[in-house]
A and B are shown apart, each in its own frame.
Chain A
Amino acid sequence: MRKIIVLGPAAAFLVGGSMLAMAEIKSLRGDRPLDAPPEPPKKARVISKTGGFGRQWKTQPPLIPHKIDKERISLDENSCLRCHAPDTYKAEKAPMISKTHFTDPNNPSDANLMRGRWFCYQCHVPQVNAKPLVENLFSKTAD
């Protein structure tokens, strides 16, 4: 009997609470009915930032602080190497591809760039000035 007295209000509280929470849950799509077209998202612009973004955690692949819509990566061609390759980065004042990306790290060149590291955008991405879809508490880890 005592159990019921204790658990009853607790259960009621839980059910009520979750119902309240459910009322607040909103789809990322908004409150629009399913058959109405969704509101188009605001256009986001790629951020250009001199000096780069810096890492958010120690092993983060560095972010791209510029537009990449004109760059092309195919089997034969990688236009990122125009500026970020070992033989051009100095003239272009761009950061060089990490030495870890070459099969011969002490003697990096276009020729010994690992093919598994060829498609830069798999890890390195540009940033846009978009609002996060879901609010979150993510913050940079200590340097």
Chain B
Amino acid sequence: MQGIWKKLLSTTMVVGVVLGVVLWGGFNWAMELTNTESFCISCHEMKNNVYEEYTNTIHYMNRSGVRATCPDCHVPKEWVHKVVRKIQASKELYHHFMGTIDTREKFLKKRGELAVNVWKAMKATDSRECRNCHGETYMDFDKQEERAAERHEEAFDKGMTCIDCHKGIAHELPKGWKELAKKNGLMPTAETTPAQ
């Protein structure tokens, strides 16, 4: 009798480990698959609008060839935040199949709202995805242009975050973006900007 239990236990353990590896591995594999640029631009909404605009920016092409692709900026690196973002993305899938922004005109009409969503998210996370590469501590102000160095130093002292100033760096800005940003409290104000 004892032998059967022992056998069952060991079989369960082996099956459990194998199943665990397969399921966990498969889950992460699927998650990584959806975390690539080629997956993002497999939807024409992405390919013809935001991606097309991004190809003109420094995050796509630059002197050293280091790139930041879609998920580098739009999907968090930490696992928990990443899963949360992936679940939120189901809304994007829904709107893809509903054809909410399936033409350039529809996209441009919606662009303000979409941009504000991203700005708000970046502001809430203190521009976490920017900081994955652009470390405040590792910025050499000496190597920056005088005006940029001055502004960066002051902004960090005031506790400002990247997106406060760097909007529309990888995509075009929506029409009337400044008013939109001001309305949502996303523009640097007299309190956040350094005194003259």
Binding site for B on A (CB under 8 A): 48, 50, 66, 70, 72, 74, 76-77, 79, 81-82, 85, 87, 90-93, 110
Contact = CB atoms under 8 A, between A and B. Distances in A.
B174 interface: yes
A58 to B, nearest CB: 27
Contacts of B58: 70
B172 A90 contact: no
Nearest to B58: A70
Given A50-B147, A70-B58, A77 B188 contact: no
B178 A76 contact: no
B177 A77 contact: yes
Interface in B140-168: 145-147, 150-151, 165, 168
B196 interface: yes
A77 B145 contact: no
Q: Is the interface of B mostly helix, strand, loop or mixed?
A: loop
A70 B193 CA distance: 23
Contacts of A91: 188, 190, 193-194
B147 A72 contact: no
B145 A48 contact: yes
Given A90-B196, A92-B151, A76 B145 contact: no
Nearest to A76: B175
A76 B179 CA distance: 13
The 7 closest A-B pairs by CB, nearest first: A91-B193, A76-B175, A77-B173, A50-B146, A48-B145, A77-B172, A90-B196
Contacts of A82: 165
A90 B190 CA distance: 10
Interface residues of B, number: 23
B178 A66 contact: no
23 contacts: A50-B146, A66-B145, A70-B57, A72-B56, A74-B172, A76-B172, A76-B173, A76-B174, A76-B175, A77-B168, A77-B173, A77-B174, A77-B175, A77-B177, A79-B173, A81-B178, A85-B178, A87-B178, A91-B188, A91-B190, A91-B193, A92-B151, A110-B178
Contact of A72 (B151, B172, B175, B188): B172
A92 B194 CA distance: 9
A76 B175 CA distance: 5
Given A50-B147, A66-B145, A110-B178, A79 B196 contact: no
A66 B148 CA distance: 11
A72 B177 CA distance: 14
A88 to B, nearest CB: 8
B184 to A, nearest CB: 16
Contacts of B196: 90, 93
B47 to A, nearest CB: 20
